[in-house]
Structure 1
Amino acid sequence: MNLTDRVVVITGGAGGIGAALARRFAAEGAAAVVVADLDAGAARAVAAGVGPVARAVGMDVTDEEQVRTLVADTEQRYGRIDLFCANAGVSTGGGVEVDDAGWDRAWRVNVLSHVYAARAVLPAMLARGGGHLLMTCSAAGVLTAVGDAAYTATKHAAVGFAEWLAITYRDQGIRVSALCPQGVDTPMLADGLAAGHLGARVIAASGAVLTPDEVADSVIAGLAEERFLILPHPEVAAYARRRAEDPDGWQAGLRKLVRRLRA
Structure 2
Amino acid sequence: MRLTDRVVVVTGGAGGIGAALGRRFVAEGAAVVVLADLDADAAHAVAAAIGPAARGVGLDATDAAQVAALVTEVETRYGRIDLFCANAGVATGRGLDAEDADWERSWQVNVVAHVYAARAVLPGMLARGEGYLLHTCSAAGLLTAVGDAPYTATKHAAVGFAEWLAITYRDRGIRVSALCPQGVDTPMLADGLAEGHLGARVIAASGPVLTPDAVADATVTGLAEERFLILPHPEVADYARRRADDPDGWQAGLRRLMGRLRRDAQAGPQR
SS where residue 184 of structure 1 aligns? Answer: coil
* Structure 1 equivalent of residue 261 of structure 2: 261
Alpha-carbon distance between aligned partners in 2 of 1:203 and 1:245, rounded to the nearest angstrom: 22
* Equivalent runs, 1:171-182 vs 2, <5 Å: 171-182=171-182
In the alignment, does 2:30 pair up with 1:59? Answer: no
In the alignment, does 2:234 pair up with 1:234? Answer: yes
Alpha-carbon distance between aligned partners in 1 of 2:207 and 2:138, rounded to the nearest angstrom: 17
SS where residue 26 of structure 1 aligns? Answer: helix
Instruction: Give me the TM-score of the superposition, normalised by structure 2.
Output: 0.97
* Structure 1 equivalent of residue 31 of structure 2: 31
* Structure 2 equivalent of residue 224 of structure 1: 224
- Alignment RMSD, CA only? 0.5
* Equivalent runs, 1:155-170 vs 2, <5 Å: 155-170=155-170
Shift of 1:92: 0.5
How big is each residue's C-alpha offset from its partner over 1:203-237, in whole Å with a ceiling of 9 and x where there is no partner? 11124100000000100000000000000000000
Instruction: Give me the TM-score of the superposition, normalised by structure 1.
Output: 0.99
Alpha-carbon distance between aligned partners in 2 of 1:231 and 1:19, rounded to the nearest angstrom: 18
Alpha-carbon distance between aligned partners in 2 of 1:19 and 1:76, rounded to the nearest angstrom: 24
251-260 vs 52-61, which moves further: 52-61
Alpha-carbon distance between aligned partners in 1 of 2:108 and 2:207, rounded to the nearest angstrom: 31
* Equivalent runs, 1:181-196 vs 2, <5 Å: 181-196=181-196
Between the two proteins, what is the percent identity of the paired residues?
79
Unaligned runs of 5+ in 2: 264-271
* Structure 2 equivalent of residue 113 of structure 1: 113
Alpha-carbon distance between aligned partners in 2 of 1:248 and 1:86, rounded to the nearest angstrom: 33
* Structure 1 equivalent of residue 129 of structure 2: 129
* CA distance 1:20–1:224, change in 2 (3 Å): same
* Structure 2 equivalent of residue 104 of structure 1: 104
* Structure 2 equivalent of residue 75 of structure 1: 75
How big is each residue's C-alpha offset from its partner over 1:131-161, in whole Å with a ceiling of 9 and x where there is no partner? 0000000000000000000000000000000
* Structure 2 equivalent of residue 92 of structure 1: 92
206-215 vs 221-230, which moves further: 206-215
SS where residue 115 of structure 2 aligns? Answer: helix
SS where residue 36 of structure 2 aligns? Answer: strand
For 1:198, the aligned partner's letter is: L
Alpha-carbon distance between aligned partners in 2 of 1:90 and 1:145, rounded to the nearest angstrom: 12
Shift of 1:50: 1.0
* CA distance 1:73–1:19, change in 2 (3 Å): same
SS where residue 258 of structure 1 aligns? Answer: helix
Alpha-carbon distance between aligned partners in 2 of 1:59 and 1:82, rounded to the nearest angstrom: 19
After TM superposition, the runs of 4+ consecutive aligned structure 1 residues lying more than 3 A away are: none
Alpha-carbon distance between aligned partners in 2 of 1:195 and 1:62, rounded to the nearest angstrom: 26
How big is each residue's C-alpha offset from its partner over 1:150-179, in whole Å with a ceiling of 9 and x where there is no partner? 000000000000000000000000000000
For 1:9, the aligned partner's letter is: V
SS where residue 210 of structure 1 aligns? Answer: coil
Alpha-carbon distance between aligned partners in 2 of 1:15 and 1:206, rounded to the nearest angstrom: 24
